[in-house]
Structure 1
Amino acid sequence: MEDSKKVLRILAVDDHTMITLGYKYTLEGADFEDYEVKMEIANTYELGKKKIENSVRGVRYHMIMLDIQLSHGKDAPLKTGEQLGLLAREIVPNSKVVFMSSYSDNYRINQLTATVNPDGYLVKDEVDELTLKAMLETVMGSDIPYYTASALFAIRKKLANSHMIDELDKKILYRLSLGEKTKDMKGIEVSITTIEKRKRNMKAMFGIEKENDLALIAEAKNRGFI
């Protein structure tokens, strides 16, 4: 008689229930050689956090799939999938953490890579049944992370340019790309004079000394910083 397959337990956290149900039906219905998938879903930060914390005392999840933007309680402070990823790394370090997000911008992907060091990052527009299966087999079968094309491109561009600017520069570039003016940049703990100096230095490094902030943003995007 054929041996029973190992059960692979997965938690998917996304505030779009139809998306998590799609993951569930696809992976639970897929034919894997060595295991079968059982997936739980959560559609808010609070429920995802509760399930991760409960897994410490119960049967752990082999993989936790996270969206970045998550719904949260009416009176609760804004929380993100990134924070859930950090929580998982702290209390269930043996669980694989994979992000499934619509974000494909270089800044966000590389920030998550630096803070959470996920086992995979999939841009939702690039996900289909074959991609989900390949991700699961790669991540669970090795220590090799799995990235879809846009995420891999962002990481490679960052590696090629990482020696040029620091994290403060990246924050400034990101805020500029959102349309913020220098004088309105809240939460960056330096003076406006320092921000302006940083912008001039970056323009000089990029060879666009006489150009405006729009040109700086365009060049930073082209080099993979945002």
Structure 2
Amino acid sequence: MKTLRILAVDDHEMTMIGYKFILEEIQFEDFTIQVDTAKTYELGKQKITDSAKSFAYDIIMLDIQLGPANETQAHTGEDLGILARKIVPKSKIVFLSSFSDNYRINSILKSVNPEGYMVKTEIDENALNDMVHTVMKEPPFYTKKALIAIRTKMANDIPLDDNDKKILYHLSIGTKTKDMIDHISLSLPGIENRKRQLKAIFGVEKQNDQALITEARNRGFI
């Protein structure tokens, strides 16, 4: 019987142990599962690189945040997914994250094009079982909240560039306009001008930033 090799990368050890226990205990018809784990970006990178020399993981499961949120220079699961695409292009990549916002999910779909995305609050034994079967036979696999985010984004036809989307995202998480210059390749006047344009696009010209956030969220942009 074939053995599927899975790598789970998550900075919460108990979460990884849970994935490993569930997946290795499920009785699959055509294969058994062996799960390796890694707690950090560097260890995940090492395991992926080493695997490329002898075998490629069938599935690589990635959390997005692989360190404290205040470590702005730390590598993320998205970075590791982009790297894995280059090193082991045949491996199936699935994100398992607490992030369920439209911006984050659609950003990862664009940068990594994973075979699956699972929101952690929706993960249980059945979901993991379905995920393995789907990504190995007919990917992609999305949990309900991830699918809603994707469909909502697809339903919008407002053309926004990356800077527009970043401004909306940072507004939604409370970043002050003056601090956005640390995250967006625009000057402060440029960002303020984009905000005015965005309010016009979303029909909230004379309202505050919260009105812009609400309207952008309703349309699936954040």
TM-score range, shorter chain: over 0.9
Amino acid at match of 1:48: G
Amino acid at match of 2:104: R
State whether residues 43 and 71 of structure 1, in contact with CA within 8 Å, keep that contact through their aligned partners in structure 2.
Answer: no
TM-score using structure 2 length: 0.94
Deviation at 1:194, TM superposition (A): 2.1
Which of the residues 50, 65, 82 maps onto 2:78? 82
Which of the residues 55, 58, 61 maps onto 1:59? 55
Q: How does 1:23-172 map to 2 (within 5 A)?
A: 23-71=19-67, 78-142=74-138, 144-172=139-167
Amino acid at match of 1:122: M
Deviation at 1:162, TM superposition (A): 4.6
In structure 2, the residue matched to 1:18 is: 14
Distance 2:4 2:59 in 1: 8
TM-score using structure 1 length: 0.92
1:183 to 2:178 alignment: yes
Distance 2:28 2:217 in 1: 40
Distance 2:164 2:2 in 1: 47
Deviation at 1:191, TM superposition (A): 2.2
Q: Can you give the 5+ residue segments of structure 1 that lack an aligned partner in the other structure?
A: none
Amino acid at match of 2:113: N
In structure 2, the residue matched to 1:222 is: 218
RMSD, matched Cα: 1.5
Deviation at 1:168, TM superposition (A): 1.1
Distance 1:81 1:90 in 2: 14
Q: Can you give the 5+ residue segments of structure 2 that lack an aligned partner in the other structure?
A: none
Distance 1:180 1:207 in 2: 22
Deviation at 1:125, TM superposition (A): 0.2
**1:48-76 CA distances to partner (integer Å, 9 max, x unpaired)?**
1110000011222101000011139xx9x
Amino acid at match of 1:207: G
Deviation at 1:192, TM superposition (A): 2.2
State whether residues 138 and 145 of structure 1, in contact with CA within 8 Å, keep that contact through their aligned partners in structure 2.
Answer: yes
Aligned residues: 218
State whether residues 163 and 185 of structure 2, in contact with CA within 8 Å, keep that contact through their aligned partners in structure 1.
Answer: no
1:204 to 2:205 alignment: no
Deviation at 1:193, TM superposition (A): 2.3
**1:10-34 CA distances to partner (integer Å, 9 max, x unpaired)?**
0000111111111111111111111
State whether residues 27 and 37 of structure 1, in contact with CA within 8 Å, keep that contact through their aligned partners in structure 2.
Answer: yes
Amino acid at match of 1:181: K
Distance 2:42 2:57 in 1: 17
**1:142-182 CA distances to partner (integer Å, 9 max, x unpaired)?**
2x211111111111111111543221110011111121222
- Give 3-state SS (helix, strand or coil) of 1:161's partner: coil
Amino acid at match of 1:184: D
- Give 3-state SS (helix, strand or coil) of 1:211's partner: coil
Which deviates more, 183-192 or 91-100? 183-192
Structure 1 runs of 4+ aligned residues shifted over 3 Å read: none
Distance 1:47 1:179 in 2: 32
State whether residues 63 and 77 of structure 2, in contact with CA within 8 Å, keep that contact through their aligned partners in structure 1.
Answer: yes
